[in-house]
Copies of this chain bind each other. A is one copy, B any other.
């Protein structure tokens, strides 16, 4: 299976995407890679590796979309970017999927525009893996749709359910809606009406609250993209904030260096679910194709895992399962 990889996406390009692609072909003989990016940059980076040249190919795309560029203008003006060229190749059937650790907003916009939407989908959504004390849950919508309608919320939950089952291996995923209280009449019209629609799902646990997030109360946290984005970025900040808090305390308490090392080591192990490496990437659910986005800081291992997740999405026919779930 051929997977296109954005060679110039993320905070550490071309090093990490190229290294991740080499890792993936080394581990899985069925994978071929199409590295998309400026030819000179990518081929120079490839020189650092030994790899099977019959399985790693190059697709020239001279432009690079920066991590902080405005998605809409980047997609409009940079039609020769790695993102646009890679997605177009996927649309034309030259590869089975496209993966990138680049600008999430630009990736969503370009995926929706170039690949189109799946039959019956109102709006594609961004899914984020969310660390809890039980492992990884999914947060949907993580920022794509700031003001969704209840019908969209139901679709997000159904699409997330399929991703959880097929790719994360959770047989019967549970769904909870973020709200200001557990009762059915809590929240705005959006939460009240979404609650009614979500209640038709077997795995729906009902409304959950902010205090439930870190405890992994459900496999899927459903919310609007505004709240989702705030909660996502808040969660990502916890390890750093905590480290700074502990460091201040240990300084003021004059804790011995050896003890400090041990405490940091325990903290790091405790927060290992906050390390997104083993998740790799998540697809834009609802687009007519397989387009995954990874964390900007993705390591080579994270990129490799994103490539494998993309292959799994294709093999497990996630999209046709979404179509039949939404249209029946």
Instruction: List residues of A whose CB falls within 8 A of some B CB.
Output: 133, 143, 146-147, 178, 180, 187-188, 209-215, 223, 225-227, 229-238, 241-242, 244-246, 248-250, 253, 255, 259, 262-263, 266-267, 269-271
The one of B212, B214, B237 in contact with A211, judged by C-beta atoms closer than 8 angstroms, is: B237
Report yes or no: B241 in contact with A267, Cβ–Cβ below 8 A: no
In the complex formed, the residue of B with least CB distance to A183 is B70
Report yes or no: A211 in contact with B236, Cβ–Cβ below 8 A: yes
Secondary structure call for the A interface: helix
- Stoichiometry (number of copies): 2
B residues in contact with A246, CB < 8 Å: 266-267, 270
A-B pairs with lowest CB-CB distance, top 4: A210-B233, A214-B241, A210-B234, A210-B230
Report yes or no: A133 in contact with B227, Cβ–Cβ below 8 A: no
Report yes or no: A146 in contact with B234, Cβ–Cβ below 8 A: no
Report yes or no: A214 in contact with B226, Cβ–Cβ below 8 A: no
B residues in contact with A262, CB < 8 Å: 259
Report yes or no: B230 in contact with A133, Cβ–Cβ below 8 A: no
In the complex formed, the residue of B with least CB distance to A237 is B211
Q: A146-B187, A180-B230, A237-B211 are in contact. Are A271 and B259 (CB under 8 A)?
A: no
